[in-house]
């Protein structure tokens, strides 16, 4: 006999462990594999996995299933953000960030892991955290001690001495050096090996200057081709993918030639960079929402004036180049740089992605099936189909008509567990 659970009961079942078989029904679901909207949708979950998904007439609802009828909702795969810093607080930039200890920033991550999950992001790639705080967070989430998304983590980002991924805020006598700093091909290989030893599952390095670092030129390359090639070779040999921070034209192109899997920011892109990305199948992760926060709230949050000046130039160029890259057909993934702006607001980037050239379906694919493929997790994550992990979100209405609906995710299921029930 089917137990029909009403929305009232659903609202009461926060964090409840699902019965063996759970069924979600909704007016719509998004099939990101085929780029289609399916009406009258059913998703059948057994323990942690999806066992069937599709139009109601094509899916048998098992007897004894716990059925959640959502009505005017759209079901989507759990959202995936490929560029977050869960241990960073958007109100503590520049010198304000120096006061927090490593245990303190780890606890910051606890708070923001939950905020990210509740916003519908069931998987994140955390690209840069001090002291392997991201590894601790991931392990605490996997152990069930705290709530948060699936995390792919880099540990400390690699970078050149004095580069974007070094800490340049204090004068020489403090001898401050970030944990990922390494110069030379063998030195970068050693840091890649160390990061893997302590739990990293992706490698992140800084290939150009950046907006928020003191004293770096945003357009200027950091690391030579030889260093990038050594770093990428070491990571790939060990089965890890590589993300590079790169705003500058030369850094973007050198990193692509060196074989990186994704380029982050990609602000000062040129036509040759687009051609290289297409040739190499490189993914672009372009954080086109964050500029609004940096220029709006940044000064209050401690962002240095020199960084604001850089952002005024870079933000606009990045949005123009986002549109070019989308038109050219580059592999695009959703990456927001949450942590620079408040965690949980990740979904605000969707509306900007559509404003700057994506269809709503493309924007949703960029936050589901494409990141799953970038992470080489496409067999278990990224779409609502049989055999995949039951990471599912539900939004009221149809996000293909109004993409901003993804800023208010109503239902979140992670690994078959309803972690955020539909509110009444």
Which residues form the interface with Zn ion (CB under 5 A)? 337
**Smallest gap, in angstroms, from Cβ of residue 287 to Zn ion?**
7
**Which CB atom, from 93 or from 417, has the smaller least distance to Zn ion?**
93
**Which CB atom, from 213 or from 385, has the smaller least distance to Zn ion?**
213
**Which CB atom, from 147 or from 337, has the smaller least distance to Zn ion?**
337
**Smallest gap, in angstroms, from Cβ of residue 290 to Zn ion?**
9
**Which CB atom, from 67 or from 220, has the smaller least distance to Zn ion?**
220
**Smallest gap, in angstroms, from Cβ of residue 26 to Zn ion?**
34
Give the Cα-Cα-Cα angle 387, 393, 398 (nearest 5 degrees). 115
**Smallest gap, in angstroms, from Cβ of residue 385 to Zn ion?**
31
**Smallest gap, in angstroms, from Cβ of residue 107 to Zn ion?**
20
**Smallest gap, in angstroms, from Cβ of residue 270 to Zn ion?**
22
**Which CB atom, from 349 or from 385, has the smaller least distance to Zn ion?**
349
- What's the per-residue H, E or C state across the chain? CCEEECHHHHHHCCCCCCCCEEEEEEEEEEECCCCEEEEEEEEEEECCEEEEEEEHHHCCCCCCCEEEECCCEEEEECEEEEEECCCCCCCCCHHHHHHCCHHHHHHHHHHHHHHHHHCCEEEEEECCCHHHHHHHHHHHHHCCCCCCCEEEECCCCEECCCCCCCCCCCCHHHCCCCCCECCCHHHHHHHHHHHHHCCCCEEEEECECCCCCCCCCCCCECCCHHHHHHHHHHHHHCCCEEEEEECCHHHHHHHHHHCCCEEEECCCCCHHHHHHHHHHCCEEECCCCHHHHHHHHCCCCCCCHHHHHHHHHHHHHHHHHHHHHHHHCCEEECCCCECCECCCCCCHHHHHHHHCCCCHHHHHHHCCHHHHHHCCCCCCCCCCCCCCECCEEEEECCCCCCHHHHHCCCEEEECCEEEECCCC
**Which CB atom, from 154 or from 321, has the smaller least distance to Zn ion?**
154
**Smallest gap, in angstroms, from Cβ of residue 62 to Zn ion?**
44
**Which CB atom, from 311 or from 337, has the smaller least distance to Zn ion?**
337
**Which CB atom, from 24 or from 353, has the smaller least distance to Zn ion?**
353
**Smallest gap, in angstroms, from Cβ of residue 128 to Zn ion?**
6
* Closest residue to Zn ion, based on beta-carbon distance: 337
């Amino acid at each position: 006999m089917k137990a029909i659970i009403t929305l009232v009961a659903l609202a009461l079942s926060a964090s409840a462990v699902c019965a063996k078989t759970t069924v979600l029904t909704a007016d719509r679901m998004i099939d990101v594999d085929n780029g289609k909207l399916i009406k009258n949708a059913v998703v059948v979950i057994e323990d942690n996995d999806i066992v069937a998904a599709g139009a109601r007439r094509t899916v048998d609802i098992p007897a004894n299933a716990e059925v959640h009828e959502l009505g005017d909702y759209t079901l989507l795969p759990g959202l995936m953000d490929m560029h977050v810093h869960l241990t960073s607080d958007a109100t503590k930039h520049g010198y304000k960030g120096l006061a927090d200890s490593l245990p303190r920033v780890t606890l910051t991550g606890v708070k923001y892991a939950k905020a990210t999950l509740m916003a519908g992001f069931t998987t994140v790639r955390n690209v840069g955290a001090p002291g392997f705080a991201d590894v601790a967070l991931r392990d605490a989430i996997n152990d069930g001690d705290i709530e948060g998304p699936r995390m792919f983590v880099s540990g400390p980002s690699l970078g050149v001495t004095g580069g974007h991924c070094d800490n340049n805020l204090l004068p020489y006598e403090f001898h401050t050096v970030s944990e990922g700093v390494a110069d030379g091909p063998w030195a970068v290989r050693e840091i890649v090996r160390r990061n893997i030893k302590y739990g990293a599952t992706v490698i992140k390095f800084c290939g150009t200057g950046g907006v928020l670092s003191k004293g770096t030129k945003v357009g200027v390359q950091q690391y030579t081709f030889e260093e990038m090639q050594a770093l990428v070779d070491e990571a790939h040999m060990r089965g890890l993918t590589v993300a590079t921070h790169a705003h500058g034209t030369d850094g973007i192109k050198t990193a692509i030639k060196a074989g990186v899997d994704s380029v982050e920011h990609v602000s000062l892109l040129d036509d040759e960079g687009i051609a290289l990305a297409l040739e190499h199948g490189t993914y672009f992760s372009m954080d086109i929402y964050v500029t609004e926060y940096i220029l709006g709230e940044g000064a209050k949050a401690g962002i240095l004036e020199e960084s604001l000046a850089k952002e005024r130039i870079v933000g606009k160029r990045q949005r123009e180049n986002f549109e070019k890259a989308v038109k050219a057909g580059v592999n695009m993934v959703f990456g927001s740089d949450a942590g620079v702006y408040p965690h949980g607001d990740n979904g605000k980037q969707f509306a900007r992605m559509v404003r700057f050239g994506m269809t709503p379906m493309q924007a949703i694919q960029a936050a589901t099936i494409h990141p799953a493929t970038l992470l080489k997790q496409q067999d278990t994550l990224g779409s609502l189909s049989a055999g995949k992990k039951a990471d599912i979100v539900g939004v009221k209405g149809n996000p293909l008509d109004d993409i901003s609906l993804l800023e208010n995710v109503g239902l979140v299921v992670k690994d078959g567990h309803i972690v955020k029930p539909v509110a009444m």
